[in-house]
Amino acid sequence: MAEVAAKVTCRIMGEDYVIRAKAPTEYVLALAAKVDECMRRAVEADPRLSPRQAAVLAALNFAHERQRAVERQSKLISVIESM
């Protein structure tokens, strides 16, 4: 039987978002908290940023973190395969 997506209400930068996800509620809330934290840090660094600009900067930050993780994983796989 297919897993049913649940609705999770998350608050990011003072706005409520209803997220439909198959992941556990706690996981979705933790992700939303990370997004909120990253956006708030951007706005603290430059209060002139709009929420949209802060969201773009947060997305770029997450993309950068993901790319670094992919590169580290690739290096680790190479090391393991060379053993």
Cβ-based neighbours of 68, under 8 Å, separated by 6 or more = none
Beta bridge partners of 19: 8
Give yes or no for residue 1 having a pLDDT over 60: no
Q: Are 29 and 10 in contact (CB under 8 A)?
A: yes
Give yes or no for residue 67 having a pLDDT over 60: yes
Question: What pLDDT was estimated at residue 69?
Answer: 97
Question: What pLDDT was estimated at residue 3?
Answer: 75
Question: What pLDDT was estimated at residue 2?
Answer: 61
Question: What pLDDT was estimated at residue 64?
Answer: 98
pLDDT tens per residue across span 2-54: 678 999 999 999 999 999 999 999 999 999 999 999 999 999 999 999 999 99
